[in-house]
Amino acid sequence: MKQARRADITLWRKLEMLDTPARQARVHGRTGTTQSADINITPLVDVVLVLLIIFMVVTPMLAREIALPRVVSPMSWVGSEDEIRVAIDAKSTLFVGKEEVSRENLPKQLAAAVNKSKSRHVYLEVDQEVDFALVRVVLEVLRDLGLSTVGLGALVDAET
């Protein structure tokens, strides 16, 4: 009996050695002294909030239209007959010189005007209400004719 009792005591001591404070805490539902493998969310939330604030500040700036300045007192320009004037009014009507031109005839009319001109200076005047796609078409036609430099003309408001 003494040997059985001794064996029980020895087994009990071995089990006590295995029973560490961290194991006891885990058995009872508490966290032990070991490090946690959880991700710390606080820095992540801080970064997300900073990015949110940046986007909230920058987005309204991107949505605004840029108001170009109006011409108050432009240089008085009196064009000579040698210079080519291309104009687009608010109704998207094209003019080469003073005559109205359709979009289909624009390349032919501009080629004829370029052939007549000695200086090959071209000035483009466009109303601010015109869609830029039409301006791009005119600039491409001018480029195809070999005119890479185009002057931009400004029209003065009647109210200024």
Structural domain boundaries, residue 8: 2-33+40-63
In a domain, 160, yes or no: no
Q: Which helix (H) or strand (E) holds 84?
A: strand 84-88
One domain for residues 13 and 47: yes
In a domain, 75, yes or no: no
Average pLDDT over residues 94-107: 87
Q: CA-CA distance, 130 to 93, in Å (whole number)?
A: 9
Average pLDDT over residues 134-147: 88
**pLDDT cut 90: percent of the chain above it:** 8
- At residue 76, does pLDDT exceed 50? no
In a domain, 141, yes or no: yes
Q: Could you tell me the pLDDT band of residue 47, with boundaries at 50, 70 and 90?
A: very high
The confidence score (pLDDT) of residue 92 equals 85
Q: Which helix (H) or strand (E) holds 15?
A: helix 2-18
One domain for residues 50 and 91: no
The confidence score (pLDDT) of residue 97 equals 80
Q: CA-CA distance, 92 to 126, in Å (whole number)?
A: 9
Is the CB of residue 82 less than 8 Å from the CB of residue 92?
no
Tell me the CATH number at 139. Answer: 3.30.420.270
